Chain A
Amino acid sequence: MSLSLRSAVRLNLILLLIPVFLWLLLLIILPHIDMLLVSTQVKVRPRVYEFSFANYGEFFSEPLYWRTFARTAIMSIAATLLTLVIAFPVAYYIAKMLRGRMKSFLFLLCLVPFWVSELVRTFGWMILLRESGVFSNLFQWIGFADGPVEMLYNDATIMVGLIYTSMLFMVVPLVTILDSLDDSLVEAGYDLGGNAFTVLRTIIIPHAMPGIVSGCIVVFMLTLGNYLTPVLLGGKDSLWFTAQIYTQFITRFNWELGAAFGFLLLFLSSMIVWMGLKLSRQTLTETMG
């Protein structure tokens, strides 16, 4: 009887999981297998393709491609760290200093950027930062600048745009984790002789580590996969790997190379996340649980 009960439970579990598996299979695994197959094709003549890993070789042999990737990865890491540095005090303030309505208000404030689409948001930045834009005129009016100031089209602007877009995804896990930090732990840290820095280093950060890591993973992946912000704000020098993939797929009709790039992005970014987890001595289950 207990045996049949157990098998019934198992059957239920299987039934419950079927949609999940189907969804995984149809929307994630199958397209990726297809992509993988495409990425190993090389065009020899129009309409004639051959199996080869030349597309992957191309990534490493053409400096443009791997440099673009390296640049994208480094800027994404920098954007992630900067977002963390900015979001941490904000999250700490929301989680620990505020109560009641102010708390939800500030939390909502972090959501504001998401009330409009990414495109509109990016155009907003462009209106503010362009040479004939709001800030430029303001600076001239105040007297900070003699002529129009161009603030668009450089890496710093890309950074600002990326951080702005990522804030929420860092603040939410941080607030959640800091909320769960017992105030008395912080007080005990001080009471036993710690100063602000040691309390932060030995108590608050270790406690917040799972939140920090999960926030960083999300922000890193979002930034790495961002397309509009770097392309629109970056101008003529904006080399972003997703833009390269887009170019290969859409303007070059080179699906094979684009697919290979897609896989390299997936693989290399997973490697970076894995290294990040190793460095911070966290496990994926800890962070996502």
Chain B
Amino acid sequence: MFIKKGKLLTGIMLGTGLILTTLQTNAETLRLLTWGGYAPEKVVEMFKAETGIKVEVTNSNNEEMISKLRATGGAGFDLAQPSQDRIAGAQSEYEIYKPIDLSKVDASKFITSMLEGTKKNTTVDGKVYGVPHVWGTSALTVNTKVAPDVKDYLDLCNPKYAGKVSYRMKRPTLIAFAFAMGLDPFAAYGDTTSYKMIMDKVEAKLIECKPNVKAYWSGGDALINLIRSDEVVAAMAWDGSGWKVNAEKPEVKTIAPTSGALGWIDTFALPKKTKAENAAYQWINFVMRPEIAAMITEAAGNFTAAKDGDKFVEESKRMRFQETFPAAAIDNIKWYPPVPAGLEDMEGKVLDRVQAAK
């Protein structure tokens, strides 16, 4: 009796949900699949005032974006923002994107080197699938008062900080630890056997390091809470998270690890069955204006690929960036090359085994 009612209710809710979603898409809207902070409410309002287009924002992450688009064959959203290294593999495997018409994108608004690099990394069969938007790194966030000697990822395994460190159970952690152990996973991307050897070593290290970990963080806010409350004193995290805490807690700093921060670029990519292509290009050109880009930097905590975008950003933000990344550290950033299809299966197993280890 109980079960039946429950199901009926879900059925009804599903039904009404379907009706509501179909109703909502009637107006001129842009359904944006993006990351938290990349489409601040104010920017969405300004865009609507200027173009009359309503933006519907769905916050997500790389894996969910791919899964969602895969499930619908590239429908349901008009513009997505996956990281540049995750486009080529997903495209060749699931065909979820549509090539970008570069003539509709105002190239003059982009930092040229970033635009070119992204174009190169997101090219499949001679067609470009992504243009850059927000970029940043995975680095170390450290409470410098309590843990002044954390300089590289391996320092997180220092028993001194047992139960007080955190990182994610995701592929960047595997890559970061590999670099910190003196290996070069990016060089091994094309060679499954040597990549497997690297991953085996990383797996052993992460299992050994596990007792040190308080919790694997999964969302930016969760990590910020851990750091802010002093429950965690050192973590591998997005650079923006550390900068955010730094504003209220100066001893917390984002540090570029000696083995190099991992650089990522989140892009704009068109889902294969986008229904508002024009609106998507309008949005891209709109948010790449330097003053709008600065607003996004404020909200997301990271800089954009917009030319002169940093000029409009608060001085303190730029100071923090320069403190973390002196010129040498910027040169040392390891930019993710495109992930070849199939590597992620192998990494998944490694992550599973680390998770299961005692």
Contact = CB atoms under 8 A, between A and B. Distances in A.
* Contact flag (A, B; Cβ within 8 A): yes
B17 interface: no
B348 A252 contact: yes
Interface stretch (B140-148, B210-218, B322-330): B210-218
A55 to B, nearest CB: 13
Given A236-B355, A250-B63, A288-B1, A46 B341 contact: yes
Contacts of B216: 235-236
B39 to A, nearest CB: 22
A236 B215 CA distance: 5
Contacts of B92: 46-47
B130 to A, nearest CB: 18
Given A64-B353, A130-B229, A288-B1, A254 B348 contact: yes
A40 interface: no
A84 B241 CA distance: 44
B205 to A, nearest CB: 15
B264 to A, nearest CB: 17
Dominant secondary structure of chain A at its interface with chain B? helix
Given A172-B2, A288-B1, A251 B63 contact: yes
B245 to A, nearest CB: 14
- Size bracket of the A interface: 35 or more
Interface in A1-49: 23, 27, 46-47
A241 interface: no
Q: Which of A47, A67, A148, A250 has the most CB of B within 10 A?
A: A250
B190 interface: no
Interface of B: 1-4, 11, 14, 63-64, 66-67, 70, 90, 92-94, 163, 169-170, 210, 213-216, 229-231, 341-342, 344-345, 348, 352-353, 355-356, 358
23 contacts: A27-B14, A46-B92, A46-B342, A64-B352, A64-B353, A131-B231, A132-B231, A150-B214, A150-B231, A153-B214, A172-B2, A235-B216, A236-B169, A236-B355, A239-B356, A249-B67, A250-B63, A251-B348, A252-B344, A253-B344, A255-B70, A288-B4, A289-B1
Interface of A: 23, 27, 46-47, 64, 67-68, 130-132, 148, 150, 152-153, 169, 172-173, 214, 217-218, 221, 235-237, 239, 244, 247, 249-255, 288-289
